[in-house]
Chains A and B, each alone.
Chain A
Amino acid sequence: DQQVKQNSPSLSVQEGRISILNCDYTNSMFDYFLWYKKYPAEGPTFLISISSIKDKNEDGRFTVFLNKSAKHLSLHIVPSQPGDSAVYFCAASSQGAQKLVFGQGTRLTINP
Protein backbone atom coordinates (compact mmCIF):
# COMPACT_ATOMS: atom_id res chain seq x y z
CA ASP A 1 0.00 0.00 0.00
CA GLN A 2 1.93 2.98 -1.33
CA GLN A 3 0.43 5.94 0.50
CA VAL A 4 2.75 8.48 -1.11
CA LYS A 5 3.50 8.15 -4.80
CA GLN A 6 5.90 9.87 -7.13
CA ASN A 7 4.98 8.52 -10.52
CA SER A 8 7.91 9.98 -12.43
CA PRO A 9 11.13 8.12 -11.65
CA SER A 10 13.17 10.67 -13.57
CA LEU A 11 12.96 14.17 -15.00
CA SER A 12 15.37 16.06 -17.22
CA VAL A 13 15.26 19.87 -17.41
CA GLN A 14 17.39 22.47 -19.09
CA GLU A 15 19.34 24.84 -16.88
CA GLY A 16 17.42 28.05 -16.22
CA ARG A 17 14.02 26.51 -16.90
CA ILE A 18 11.41 25.44 -14.37
CA SER A 19 11.48 21.98 -12.80
CA ILE A 20 8.16 20.59 -11.61
CA LEU A 21 8.13 17.47 -9.46
CA ASN A 22 4.84 15.85 -8.58
CA CYS A 23 3.58 13.77 -5.68
CA ASP A 24 0.22 12.13 -4.92
CA TYR A 25 -1.02 10.72 -1.64
CA THR A 26 -3.91 8.55 -0.63
CA ASN A 27 -4.15 8.94 3.16
CA SER A 28 -6.50 11.81 3.99
CA MET A 29 -5.05 11.93 7.53
CA PHE A 30 -1.78 13.38 6.23
CA ASP A 31 -1.56 17.02 7.26
CA TYR A 32 2.09 17.92 6.82
CA PHE A 33 4.15 17.45 3.68
CA LEU A 34 7.85 17.81 3.04
CA TRP A 35 10.31 17.66 0.17
CA TYR A 36 13.83 16.32 0.61
CA LYS A 37 16.77 16.29 -1.76
CA LYS A 38 19.28 13.45 -1.70
CA TYR A 39 22.71 13.24 -3.24
CA PRO A 40 24.51 9.88 -3.56
CA ALA A 41 26.24 8.76 -0.36
CA GLU A 42 24.48 11.44 1.68
CA GLY A 43 21.38 11.53 3.82
CA PRO A 44 18.27 13.38 2.66
CA THR A 45 18.40 17.15 3.08
CA PHE A 46 15.24 19.04 3.97
CA LEU A 47 14.11 21.51 1.30
CA ILE A 48 10.67 22.86 2.05
CA SER A 49 7.45 21.87 3.75
CA ILE A 50 3.78 22.77 3.78
CA SER A 51 0.97 22.34 6.25
CA SER A 52 -2.44 21.23 5.09
CA ILE A 53 -3.91 24.57 6.15
CA LYS A 54 -1.99 26.22 3.32
CA ASP A 55 -1.98 25.71 -0.42
CA LYS A 56 1.38 27.30 -1.20
CA ASN A 57 4.70 27.83 0.48
CA GLU A 58 7.66 29.58 -1.08
CA ASP A 59 11.34 29.67 -0.14
CA GLY A 60 13.66 31.30 -2.62
CA ARG A 61 13.74 29.25 -5.82
CA PHE A 62 11.54 26.54 -4.30
CA THR A 63 7.75 26.62 -4.12
CA VAL A 64 5.49 23.82 -2.96
CA PHE A 65 1.83 23.72 -3.96
CA LEU A 66 -0.77 21.59 -2.20
CA ASN A 67 -4.13 20.60 -3.69
CA LYS A 68 -5.95 18.83 -0.89
CA SER A 69 -9.03 17.93 -2.91
CA ALA A 70 -6.85 16.16 -5.47
CA LYS A 71 -4.44 14.84 -2.79
CA HIS A 72 -1.62 16.21 -4.88
CA LEU A 73 1.41 18.33 -4.23
CA SER A 74 4.14 19.64 -6.44
CA LEU A 75 7.55 21.20 -6.04
CA HIS A 76 8.57 23.97 -8.43
CA ILE A 77 12.20 24.93 -8.81
CA VAL A 78 12.89 28.06 -10.80
CA PRO A 79 15.33 28.75 -12.24
CA SER A 80 16.83 25.26 -12.25
CA GLN A 81 20.56 25.02 -11.65
CA PRO A 82 23.05 22.18 -12.24
CA GLY A 83 23.46 21.77 -8.47
CA ASP A 84 19.79 20.86 -8.28
CA SER A 85 20.54 17.52 -9.93
CA ALA A 86 19.65 14.95 -7.26
CA VAL A 87 16.91 12.57 -6.18
CA TYR A 88 13.89 14.36 -4.71
CA PHE A 89 11.63 12.66 -2.19
CA CYS A 90 8.16 13.73 -1.21
CA ALA A 91 7.16 12.80 2.36
CA ALA A 92 4.08 13.11 4.52
CA SER A 93 3.10 12.84 8.16
CA SER A 94 -0.09 13.01 10.18
CA GLN A 95 -1.33 14.36 13.49
CA GLY A 96 1.93 15.94 14.51
CA ALA A 97 3.89 12.71 14.32
CA GLN A 98 7.36 13.16 12.94
CA LYS A 99 7.61 9.72 11.45
CA LEU A 100 7.45 10.16 7.70
CA VAL A 101 6.01 8.21 4.80
CA PHE A 102 8.12 8.70 1.69
CA GLY A 103 7.45 8.49 -2.01
CA GLN A 104 9.71 6.52 -4.31
CA GLY A 105 11.72 9.53 -5.37
CA THR A 106 12.28 11.37 -8.66
CA ARG A 107 15.75 11.73 -10.12
CA LEU A 108 16.11 15.26 -11.44
CA THR A 109 18.84 16.01 -13.96
CA ILE A 110 19.57 19.60 -14.93
CA ASN A 111 21.26 19.85 -18.29
CA PRO A 112 23.57 22.78 -19.09
Chain B
Amino acid sequence: SAVISQKPSRDICQRGTSLTIQCQVDSQVTMMFWYRQQPGQSLTLIATANQGSEATYESGFVIDKFPISRPNLTFSTLTVSNMSPEDSSIYLCSVGHLPNTEAFFGQGTRLTVV
Protein backbone atom coordinates (compact mmCIF):
# COMPACT_ATOMS: atom_id res chain seq x y z
CA SER B 1 0.00 0.00 0.00
CA ALA B 2 0.96 3.67 0.00
CA VAL B 3 0.20 6.67 2.20
CA ILE B 4 -0.75 9.64 0.06
CA SER B 5 -0.98 13.17 1.37
CA GLN B 6 -2.76 15.85 -0.61
CA LYS B 7 -2.63 19.56 0.11
CA PRO B 8 -4.78 21.55 0.46
CA SER B 9 -7.71 19.39 1.52
CA ARG B 10 -10.11 22.12 0.44
CA ASP B 11 -10.07 25.67 -0.88
CA ILE B 12 -12.40 28.38 -2.06
CA CYS B 13 -10.93 30.40 -4.91
CA GLN B 14 -11.89 33.41 -6.97
CA ARG B 15 -12.57 32.89 -10.65
CA GLY B 16 -9.63 33.72 -12.87
CA THR B 17 -7.04 32.63 -10.32
CA SER B 18 -4.99 29.42 -10.19
CA LEU B 19 -4.55 26.77 -7.51
CA THR B 20 -1.74 24.26 -7.18
CA ILE B 21 -2.50 20.95 -5.48
CA GLN B 22 0.33 18.88 -4.05
CA CYS B 23 0.51 15.10 -3.78
CA GLN B 24 3.19 13.49 -1.61
CA VAL B 25 3.63 9.70 -1.34
CA ASP B 26 5.50 7.94 1.44
CA SER B 27 7.35 5.64 -0.97
CA GLN B 28 8.58 5.66 -4.53
CA VAL B 29 5.84 4.73 -6.97
CA THR B 30 5.87 3.91 -10.63
CA MET B 31 2.63 5.52 -11.67
CA MET B 32 0.92 8.71 -10.52
CA PHE B 33 -2.40 9.96 -11.81
CA TRP B 34 -4.72 12.91 -11.33
CA TYR B 35 -8.51 12.46 -11.36
CA ARG B 36 -11.43 14.84 -11.10
CA GLN B 37 -14.83 14.16 -9.57
CA GLN B 38 -17.37 16.79 -10.48
CA PRO B 39 -20.43 17.16 -8.23
CA GLY B 40 -22.63 14.09 -8.49
CA GLN B 41 -20.40 12.54 -11.13
CA SER B 42 -17.92 9.72 -11.39
CA LEU B 43 -14.14 10.00 -11.24
CA THR B 44 -12.55 11.03 -14.52
CA LEU B 45 -8.86 10.71 -15.31
CA ILE B 46 -7.21 14.03 -16.12
CA ALA B 47 -3.67 12.85 -16.84
CA THR B 48 -0.81 10.52 -16.02
CA ALA B 49 2.04 12.33 -14.30
CA ASN B 50 5.32 11.16 -15.81
CA GLN B 51 8.53 11.51 -13.84
CA GLY B 52 10.95 13.81 -15.60
CA SER B 53 8.79 14.41 -18.66
CA GLU B 54 5.52 16.00 -19.73
CA ALA B 55 2.30 14.53 -18.41
CA THR B 56 0.05 12.47 -20.66
CA TYR B 57 -3.39 14.06 -20.85
CA GLU B 58 -6.72 12.36 -21.51
CA SER B 59 -9.15 13.57 -24.12
CA GLY B 60 -10.76 16.81 -23.04
CA PHE B 61 -7.93 17.93 -20.78
CA VAL B 62 -5.05 20.19 -21.85
CA ILE B 63 -1.73 21.20 -20.37
CA ASP B 64 -2.51 24.93 -20.42
CA LYS B 65 -5.49 24.40 -18.15
CA PHE B 66 -4.06 21.63 -15.95
CA PRO B 67 -0.25 21.85 -15.88
CA ILE B 68 1.29 18.94 -13.98
CA SER B 69 4.75 18.46 -12.56
CA ARG B 70 6.42 15.30 -11.30
CA PRO B 71 10.00 16.06 -10.31
CA ASN B 72 10.62 12.69 -8.61
CA LEU B 73 9.02 9.34 -7.80
CA THR B 74 7.24 10.54 -4.65
CA PHE B 75 5.80 13.95 -5.51
CA SER B 76 3.52 15.59 -8.06
CA THR B 77 1.55 18.80 -8.42
CA LEU B 78 -1.58 19.65 -10.39
CA THR B 79 -2.41 23.28 -11.13
CA VAL B 80 -5.92 24.32 -12.06
CA SER B 81 -5.41 27.50 -14.09
CA ASN B 82 -7.67 30.46 -14.81
CA MET B 83 -10.44 28.89 -12.77
CA SER B 84 -14.14 29.18 -13.46
CA PRO B 85 -17.08 27.88 -11.40
CA GLU B 86 -17.18 24.82 -13.71
CA ASP B 87 -13.83 23.77 -12.21
CA SER B 88 -15.47 23.25 -8.82
CA SER B 89 -14.74 19.58 -8.17
CA ILE B 90 -12.83 17.16 -6.02
CA TYR B 91 -9.35 16.58 -7.40
CA LEU B 92 -7.68 13.30 -6.47
CA CYS B 93 -4.15 12.02 -6.73
CA SER B 94 -3.71 8.29 -7.31
CA VAL B 95 -0.64 6.04 -7.33
CA GLY B 96 0.12 2.53 -8.45
CA HIS B 97 3.00 0.12 -8.39
CA LEU B 98 2.56 -2.84 -10.69
CA PRO B 99 0.30 -3.63 -13.64
CA ASN B 100 -3.00 -5.25 -12.73
CA THR B 101 -2.77 -4.29 -9.09
CA GLU B 102 -4.85 -1.83 -7.15
CA ALA B 103 -4.32 1.91 -7.30
CA PHE B 104 -4.41 4.01 -4.13
CA PHE B 105 -5.95 7.42 -3.69
CA GLY B 106 -5.27 10.49 -1.65
CA GLN B 107 -8.07 12.06 0.36
CA GLY B 108 -8.78 14.57 -2.36
CA THR B 109 -8.88 18.35 -2.65
CA ARG B 110 -12.33 19.90 -2.65
CA LEU B 111 -12.18 23.02 -4.79
CA THR B 112 -14.94 25.61 -4.93
CA VAL B 113 -14.62 28.45 -7.42
CA VAL B 114 -16.73 31.55 -6.76
Chain A interface (Cβ < 8 Å from any Cβ of B) = 31-32, 34, 36, 41-46, 49, 51, 89, 91, 93, 96-105
Interface pair B99/A102, CB less than 8 Å apart = no
Q: Identify which of residues 1-22 in chain B touch chain A, using a CB-to-CB cut-off of 8 Å.
A: 4, 6
User: Who on chain B is nearest to A49 by CB?
Assistant: B102
Interface pair A43/B106, CB less than 8 Å apart = yes
Question: Which B residues are in CB contact (< 8 Å) with A96?
Answer: 99-100
Interface pair A32/B100, CB less than 8 Å apart = yes
Q: Are A102 and B44 CB-contacts (below 8 A) given A34-B102, A96-B99, A97-B99?
A: yes
Q: Are A46 and B102 CB-contacts (below 8 A) given A41-B110, A98-B31, A98-B96?
A: yes
Residue-wise interface mask of B (91-114) relative to A, using a CB-CB cutoff of 8 A (1 in contact, 0 not) = 010101001111111111010000
Residue-wise interface mask of B (53-67) relative to A, using a CB-CB cutoff of 8 A (1 in contact, 0 not) = 000001000000000
Q: How many angstroms from the CA of A100 to the CA of B33 in the assembled complex? A: 10
Number of A-B contacts (CB under 8 A): 57
Q: Can you offer 16 A-B residue contacts whose CB atoms are under 8 A? A: A42-B107, A42-B108, A43-B4, A43-B105, A43-B107, A44-B92, A44-B105, A45-B105, A96-B100, A98-B31, A98-B33, A98-B96, A100-B103, A101-B45, A102-B43, A104-B42
Closest Cβ of chain A to B33, distance in Å, is: 6
Q: How many angstroms from the CA of A43 to the CA of B105 in the assembled complex? A: 6
Q: How many of B's residues come within 8 Å of A, CB to CB?
A: 25
Q: How many angstroms from the CA of A100 to the CA of B36 in the assembled complex? A: 12
Q: How many angstroms from the CA of A41 to the CA of B43 in the assembled complex? A: 14
Q: How many angstroms from the CA of A92 to the CA of B44 in the assembled complex? A: 12
Closest Cβ of chain B to A48, distance in Å, is: 9
Question: Which A residues are in CB contact (< 8 Å) with B106?
Answer: 43
Q: Are A43 and B102 CB-contacts (below 8 A) given A89-B42, A102-B44?
A: no
User: Who on chain A is nearest to B104 by CB?
Assistant: A46
